[in-house]
Amino acid sequence: MRQCISLWLFALLAPALALAAPNPKLAIPSFSALAQKATESVTITLDPGLLGLAAKFLDSNDPQDAATKEVLKGLQGIYVRSYTFDKDSAYQQSDIDAVRSQLAAPGWNRLVETRSRKTHADVDIYIMVDHNQAVGLALIASEPRQFTIVNIVGAIDLDKLHKLEGQFGVPKLDIDPSKGTPAPSK
């Protein structure tokens, strides 16, 4: 009888618990108006189905492709928005801040924050950890003529994350896997 009551309670509470769990997927606007003004734009939206399809095109006999395929297994999505403009201030800082503000939600932890007054370049890298497992990564980089937002959702192994750099629109993050922070510049 107790077991039956426990199962019923769990069934009733499960939806509430799921809602309470941190969500590593950011609500990234379409930025369609900005894409029209940009000299270059990149929009990548890879959900679980598309990630599986992309993994099929990787050659398991190629060590780099095999490693990338292994990283993709735990991911639920890769979302990239990147825009380059021919003049300064072609986009509003509020466009970036709307996404950046989501990283203040519980579960997100800042790995890197850089601000340059000289070049007006800002870089933020956040990671979401749930039960000692990285389940989300967000990168927001902005300069006067360019900005990039990357959101990786799913089980992320920082030791293997660097295998995605330069692929699927993921920029070079220069993360030192042993420390989970950017590697020193060479």
pLDDT (0 to 100) of residue 163: 58
- Beta strand spans in 72-177 (E): 75-84, 108-116, 121-130, 133-143, 146-156, 175-176
- Give the single-character DSSP code of 102: G
Distance CA 67, CA 124 (A): 26
Q: For residue 98, is it within any domain?
A: yes
Asked whether residue 70 is assigned to any structural domain, the reply reads yes
Residue 162's pLDDT is: 63
Among the residues of 38-140, which ranges form H helices?
A: 48-56, 63-73, 93-100
In a domain, 14, yes or no: no
Domain count, the chain: 1
Q: What is the pLDDT of residues 41-61, one digit of tens each?
A: 999 999 988 988 888 888 888
Query: Which residues of the chain, if any, have pLDDT below 70?
Result: 1-21, 160-186
For residue 12, being part of any structural domain is answered with: no
185 secondary structure, DSSP code: P
Span 6-23, pLDDT tens digits: 334 343 444 444 445 578
The pTM (predicted TM-score) of the whole model is 0.75
Structural domain of residue 125, as residue ranges? 26-180
Which pLDDT belongs to residue 56? 85
Residue 20 is assigned to a structural domain of this protein: no
pLDDT at site 154: 94
Domain-embedded: residue 94:
yes
Q: What is the Cα 125 distance to its own chain's centre? A: 9
CA distance 97 to 110: 15
Residue 123, in any domain of the structure: yes
Domain membership of residue 13 (yes or no) is: no
